[in-house]
Amino acid sequence: MKRHRRRPSPKPRTSPHALERLHPHAAGIDCGSAEHFVAVPPDRDTTAVRSFPTFTADLYRLADWLTACGVTHVAMEATGVYWIPIFEILDARGFQVILVNARHVKNLPGRKSDVSDCEWLRDLHILGLLRGSFRPADGIVALRGYLRHRATLIESAGRLVQRMQKALVQMNLQLPLVVSDITGVTGLRILRDIVGGHRDPHQLAAHRDYRCRASEAEIVGALTGHYRAEHVFVLQQNLELFDVYQRQLTACDVAIEAHLAQLAATTAPPASPLPAARRRQKPRANEPRFDLRTPLHQLTGVDLSQIDGIGPYNALRLLSEIGTDMSRWPTEKHFTSWLTLAPHNKVSGGRLLSSRTQPSANRAAAILRLAAMNLGRTQTALGAFYRRVAFRIGKAKAVTATARKLAVLIYRTLKDHLVYADPGADAYDAHHRVHVLRRLRQRAHNLGFGLIDLSTGEVVEGAVS
* pLDDT tens over the chain, length 465 residues: 445 455 454 555 444 455 788 899 999 999 988 999 999 999 898 899 999 999 999 999 999 999 999 999 999 988 888 999 999 999 999 999 999 988 777 766 666 788 888 999 999 999 988 888 899 999 999 999 999 999 999 999 999 999 999 999 999 999 999 888 899 888 999 999 999 999 998 999 888 888 888 888 888 999 998 899 999 999 999 999 999 999 999 999 999 999 999 999 988 888 888 888 877 667 778 889 999 999 999 999 999 999 999 999 999 999 999 999 999 999 999 999 999 998 888 887 878 888 888 888 899 999 999 999 999 888 999 999 999 999 999 999 999 999 999 999 999 999 999 888 888 888 888 888 888 888 888 888 888 888 887 877 777 665 444
Helix residue ranges, H only, 69-184 = 83-92, 114-126, 138-170, 175-178
Nearest Cα to 69, choosing from 111, 29, 16?
A: 29
pLDDT of residue 438: 87
What does the chain come to in residues?
A: 465
Q: Could you tell me if 321 and 363 are in contact, meaning their C-beta atoms sit under 8 angstroms apart?
A: yes
pLDDT of residue 464: 45
pLDDT of residue 114: 84
pLDDT of residue 465: 45
Helix residue ranges, H only, 301-394 = 312-322, 332-338, 363-375, 381-393
pLDDT of residue 338: 93
Long-range contacts of 19-24 (CB under 8 A, 24+ apart): 19/127, 20/127, 20/128, 21/126, 21/127, 21/128, 22/126, 22/127, 22/128, 23/72, 23/73, 23/125, 23/126, 23/128, 24/126
Nearest Cα to 134, choosing from 322, 8, 277, 330?
A: 322
Q: How far apart are CA 409 and CA 407, in angstroms?
A: 5
The identity of residue 240, as a single letter, is: E
Give the CA count within 13 Å in the CB-facing half-sphere of 81. 1
If phi > 0 it is left, if psi is from -120 to 50 it is alpha, else beta; for residue 49 that is beta
Helix, strand, coil abundance in the chain, percent, nearest 5: 50, 10, 40
Q: How far apart are CA 422 and CA 425, in angstroms?
A: 9
Q: Which residues contact 371 (CB under 8 A, 6 or more apart)?
A: 309, 310, 314, 403, 406
Nearest Cα to 76, choosing from 112, 100, 92?
A: 100
**Strands 451-452 and 96-100, sheet pairing:** unpaired
Nearest Cα to 230, choosing from 287, 149, 166?
A: 166
Q: How far apart are CA 218 and CA 177, in angstroms?
A: 10
Distances 95 to 24, 39, 61, 427 between C-alpha atoms, Å: 14, 15, 15, 53
DSSP 8-state secondary structure symbol assigned to residue 460? E
Instruction: State the pTM of this model.
Output: 0.85
pLDDT of residue 80: 85
pLDDT of residue 38: 94
If phi > 0 it is left, if psi is from -120 to 50 it is alpha, else beta; for residue 70 that is left
